Amino acid sequence: MNLRDIHTPVLLDRCVELLAPALHADGAVLVDATLGMGGHSEALLERFPNIRLIGLDRDTDALRIAGERLARFGDRVTLVHTVYDEIGLHAQGAAGILFDLGVSSLQLDEAERGFAYSKDAPLDMRMDQTKGVTAADVIATYSEGNLRRIFERYGEEKLAGRYARFIIEARQKQPITRSGELVEILIAATPAAAQRAGHPAKRVFQALRIEVNTELNVLADAIPSAMDALDVGGRIVVMSYQSLEDRLVKQAFAAASASTAPAGLPVELPEHAPRFRILTKGAELAGDDERARNPRAIPVRLRAAEKLRESA
């Protein structure tokens, strides 16, 4: 398997450019909080031969593949099986931190993981297959109200109530254990006019994935922890793939880059100065060439910030 053929890192050159100023010191530590198959990390280890990498991932398959890919870098690489909201335990004093959020290429491409609505497979969707509830468990046990809630909140799905009702009716007849079965139910529940606006399963599958992996709760804890862990002068780069993720990142960056001085104070005291400087103008998108070359870059939103000082 040639990883370069199946995995094209999103916005790779821009990530390298943004992190570069923080990675020149000997022994500088880069934390890849969402290691995946290691594409971004490999490029950064090649570009900066002085750095050490700590790679985090909850997916044991990803850690195995990335470990093989990065083996040539020897003891410059440390891989950790963990969820990235524990980043504070692994990133203290880091010079750079990278988040590439959402579902990985590995998880999408392996049909049996159940992430892709275009492929029939067991309804699993766990990023860490060693523990936790599956998407099938959610479909089988959640009430109609709770299904509607997650479809609305995590999928921003306008037909959430209708989909929840159809799922409840269908599961009373037989268990829903495969992605293909769920897709058939969602298609049957979708008016023809709505089907022309996009695949009926897209937002529901996103919502289930987020619920199964508690992604937004994890992210809400992880971003502030990562920012606290960074060394002064360190940089954090975050790539999001849907609006709920990007909103959390935007809010965390905005809070950290704002002055906390009371209104009307004539002089800003050092303890009120912003802790971070925003490095991007809003959320950056992939260019047309990359979007055409790599469809997984189409929804990406990149934000980055530099740490100016520790908390008072």
Annotated binding residues for S-adenosyl-L-methionine, written as ranges, equal 38-40, 57, 84, 100, 107
Closest CA to 65 of 4, 153, 150: 4
Radius of gyration of the chain (CA): 21
d(CA 65, CA 267): 53
What element of type H or E holds 80?
strand 77-81
42 and 51 Cβ atoms separated by less than 8 Å: no
Pairing of strands 29-32, 52-57: parallel
What the block records as the tokens of 307 is 């740490």
302 and 237 Cβ atoms separated by less than 8 Å: yes
Annotated binding residues, written as ranges, equal 38-40, 57, 84, 100, 107
d(CA 102, CA 97): 16
Q: Which residue has the tokens 């900066």?
A: 48
d(CA 312, CA 89): 21
Helix (H, G, I), strand (E, B) or coil at 16: helix
Q: Which residue has the tokens 């912003």?
A: 274
Query: What one-character-per-residue DSSP string does 201-221 give?
Result: THHHHHHHHHHHTTHHHHHHH
Q: From the CB of residue 176, how many other CB atoms can be counted at a distance below 10 Å? A: 19
- What letter would DSSP give residue 165? H
Closest CA to 148 of 189, 117, 107, 113: 189
Closest CA to 94 of 231, 225, 215: 231
